[in-house]
A and B are shown apart, each in its own frame.
Chain A
Amino acid sequence: MGDDRNTNHEGKLKRRDMLKAITAVPAAAFIPLGSAIAAERQTSKRAAETRTVAGGYHLKALTEHEYETVKVLSDWIIPADERSGSASQAGVPQFIDDWLNFQGGDLRAEIRGGLMWLDVECKYQFGHEFAGCAQAEQKKILDRIAYPEKASPEDSNYVAFFNQLRALVVEGFFSSEMGVKDLPFLGNKVVADWEGCPENVLVQINKNLKDKGVGLSLQAPEES
């Protein structure tokens, strides 16, 4: 393959050219998305109804009330903190509405049915639908259905609903732009020279192995 230095130099030059070309990519990337959303609007059965929520998002699967309830629930599930915003700030309610429309069928029924139960139960318990309840009241009902191992067997259907909702909020949040930065995920970009496992991570894993009594120790690979 020739002198290593030469090939690296050639490689770096090409990567710089490539970086210039790549900065053009994100703009182009939005074109297919825009037309996909446009296509969905056209084919959606609910296109004729203009159910819109704050920010101009057109609902596909949920009613305005269901959407508001999902918004409140999402922010209970993933609230804002010093590192990142809440689920609704990350666009999770929109992700869920779109996903329920895309999947349709049983999942959509399960979520909408769970939301309905939640409202009925809250009216019985507290005199308001879920979104209209006080924080302490909302917390009370969530505590009933959010912990599968502690929940009453009679609530098992609603535990299952909340499990499903939680999974949607979690995957919607952490796969959003905000969530990706929160974790953080540091990939999906150009890396000129792949360095393998960083020294500080190797050290931490070895510390963890020792602390947990796992009889292994990692070594950095030899330089080739």
Chain B
Amino acid sequence: MAQIKKSPKMYDAIIVGSGAGGGMAAYVLTQAGAKCLMLEAGGWYDTAKQSKMFEWNYQAPHRGAVAPNTTFGYFDASVDGWHVPGEPYLNAPGTDWRWFRSRMLGGRTNHWGRISLRMGPYDFKPYSRDGKGFDWPITYEDIAPYYDKTEELIGVFGSIEHVENTPDGKFQPPPKPRCYELLVQQACRKLDITCIPSRFSILTRPLNGRPACHYCSECGRSCGTSSNFSSPTVLLPPAMKTGNLEIRCDAMAREILVGRDGLATGVSYIDKKTRQEVQVRGKVVVVAASSCETARLLLNSRSPQYPDGLANSSGVVGRYLMDTVGADGTTGFFPVLMDLPPHNDDGTGGFHLYMPWWNYGKQFRHELPFSRGYHIEMGGGRHMPGLGIFSDSQRYLGGGYGMDLKRGCRKLYGAFIGFSSRGEMIPNDQSYCEIDRNVVDQWGIPVLKFHFKWTDDEILQARHARETFREIIETAGGEVVSTAGAKENWGISQGGAIIHEVGTVRMGADRSTSPLNSHGQAWDCKNLFVTDGAPFVSNADKNPTLTILALAWRTSEYIRDQINKRNV
């Protein structure tokens, strides 16, 4: 029988998770003098040393193709992904949820897209605005100072644009648009679609000892010069420098321990290397294991005081699961981009221009059949050649072989652009995660079972996106090469596929309908806090990570104040 190891040391805070929320909690709390222990389920990861930027596809096995533990390909900076060996999850009948887990220091901040968009005032009070979904217990004004501080710490590029519900930030200068992006921008202008410089946590100016980007466009391979944001690059080093942070990797949290008074006393975890259970004690427990893992941990922390799971007197833990609505894979072919003088289209690791939602007014007046908006992203041009290059060549070259084919491919290079939408999902009662009572993972921890459903509000949003992509492509003199139609529900993403899951331990003003208060503090257990995406009340058309960071900063300052006042 496994020994339970108890450690006598009492930390000020135990932080479960080393990603955006956990990293930010460590950053703020260690600076305030709190002794913190961070538990990370994955292994150590050195973002600079383990970067694979500057390698070529032809240097990798099978041109860098997808392999079992590198979900987005050989070069992608993620360990595990849709499948974590020994750690299954289930889908209820009729549900097709995909769940991405990066078991590594820094979690998904290592391979994420770096798209850094502030939520806007409408996004915090959607119910007040149109009667759907729920209002956050905080306003944009409450979080704005934390967006400011976060952007100044991590470095975000962008431009001041004054677009409705698309707040501007503390920006470094944005990189100039690529040639093909200028073409799309002109088409958008003709269609009255807003098209402005994008906002990414990629440095265009040096910041805090980190050099600016060198425009190799391979952010997803982890950055060897620390020029983009990930938790181990930006948050953990200063936290560790204080001397107040201990990080334990390969530590799978299994339960939050509580005392007879109902307060959290610490965390029980499995040391993956020794398969031994270890208990650590803390005055405060901060959970940032990613939204679904956080819900899972709370639900699995049952005790006489918390028969339905820790902090779950409302019964809402696990509920109101949301992902971003995605419509991907509409590609256009643009004859005007054929046979251009060779040039470098790399730039930063993402789009330099994007289209924030431009239809707030129309939607508010009920002139659209869906209630929430989306932004548009694009990618194309002279990519690094890899698998699938010229897969559309046949259509334009009539097949063939020989010099006609070789010359034809050269002409086509760089003439394709793909479009994607990222939109808001309204929380619904059929989308949630719960503990499955039959299955445990290899650490003995009961697994999650997912329930997920899109409604017409999301599906018709995807339709609108497909129609808009077509309009943009054709206005630019192009032709739609591939897209999705009604039969496929407009190619709406599978739940979880956009990897923006939020909402499972939401905050609210009413403890009977929300596990957390507006400080990210559990109503039922005042020394328990959540700082990842789980506290979200809505999932706007703004990628969640920047808000996770800002909210985590705000919550962590509250924790610091509560510790100083001896309230926790």
Contact = CB atoms under 8 A, between A and B. Distances in A.
A216 B54 contact: no
B175 A214 contact: no
Nearest to A200: B341
Contacts of B347: 194
A186 B342 contact: yes
A53 interface: no
Contacts, number: 225
A12 B509 CA distance: 51
Nearest to A180: B385
B346 interface: yes
Contact of B336 (A171, A195, A196, A209): A209
Contacts of B403: 79, 81
Interface string B205-226: 1110001111111100000110
B178 A196 contact: yes
Interface in A56-77: 76-77
B140 interface: no
B176 A194 contact: yes
Contact of B401 (A146, A175, A180): A146
A175 B385 contact: yes
B382 interface: yes
Contact of A25 (B54, B58, B383, B401): B54
Interface string B285-319: 00000000000000000000000000000000000
Contact of A190 (B187, B204, B206, B214): B214
B361 interface: no
Interface string A151-165: 000000001001100
Interface string A183-224: 111111111101111101110110011001111111101001
Contacts of A22: 54, 224
B5 interface: no
Contacts of B413: 174, 183
A90 B230 CA distance: 37
A110 interface: no
A202 B179 contact: yes
B176 to A, nearest CB: 3
Given A163-B394, A209-B477, A188 B336 contact: no
Given A187-B216, A201-B343, A208 B61 contact: no
Contacts of A214: 336, 476-477
B475 A166 contact: no
Interface stretch (B122-130, B404-412, B463-471, B516-524): B404-412
Given A33-B60, A76-B401, A218-B183, A187 B211 contact: no
A204 B335 CA distance: 12
B interface, over-half SS: loop
Contacts of B352: 196
B4 interface: no
A159 B343 CA distance: 35
Interface string A138-154: 00001000111100000
Contacts of A29: 52, 54-55, 59
B382 A189 contact: no
B393 interface: yes
B506 to A, nearest CB: 37
A126 interface: no
A197 to B, nearest CB: 4
B54 A11 contact: no
Of listed B187, B211, B476, residue having the most chain A CB within 10 A: B211
Contacts of B182: 197, 202, 205, 218-219, 221
A134 interface: no
A52 to B, nearest CB: 20
A47 interface: no
Given A40-B61, A147-B398, A147-B400, A198 B56 contact: no
B444 interface: no
Given A10-B206, A177-B58, A190-B214, A77 B401 contact: yes
A95 interface: yes
B65 interface: yes
A84 B342 CA distance: 16
Contacts of B344: 186-187, 191
A127 B225 CA distance: 62
Contacts of A10: 206
B241 interface: no
B176 A221 contact: yes
Given A1-B205, A79-B402, A205 B384 contact: no
Given A11-B205, A14-B206, A166-B405, A175 B337 contact: no
Contact of A175 (B216, B336, B387, B410): B387
A54 interface: no
B63 interface: yes
Nearest to A37: B61
Contacts of B335: 208, 212
Looking at B60, B206, B410, B476, the one whose CB has the most chain A CB atoms below 10 A away is: B206
Nearest to B342: A184
Contacts of A18: 211, 214, 225
A215 B384 CA distance: 30
Interface string B474-497: 011100000000000000000000
B346 A188 contact: yes
A149 B394 CA distance: 11
B424 to A, nearest CB: 30
Interface in A27-44: 29-30, 33, 36-37, 40
Contacts of B54: 22, 25-26, 29, 188-189
B391 interface: yes
A81 B61 contact: no
A188 B389 contact: no
A68 to B, nearest CB: 18
A166 B404 CA distance: 13
Given A25-B54, A190-B214, A216 B183 contact: yes
The 3 closest A-B pairs by CB, nearest first: A196-B176, A214-B477, A187-B346
19 contacts: A11-B205, A26-B54, A33-B60, A40-B61, A77-B405, A102-B62, A147-B399, A148-B399, A167-B394, A170-B409, A176-B58, A177-B58, A183-B382, A183-B410, A190-B215, A191-B344, A197-B182, A205-B183, A208-B335
Given A40-B61, A197-B178, A198-B179, 16 more contacts: A22-B224, A76-B401, A78-B401, A79-B403, A79-B406, A81-B406, A98-B62, A148-B399, A162-B399, A177-B58, A183-B385, A187-B344, A194-B213, A196-B177, A216-B186, A224-B159
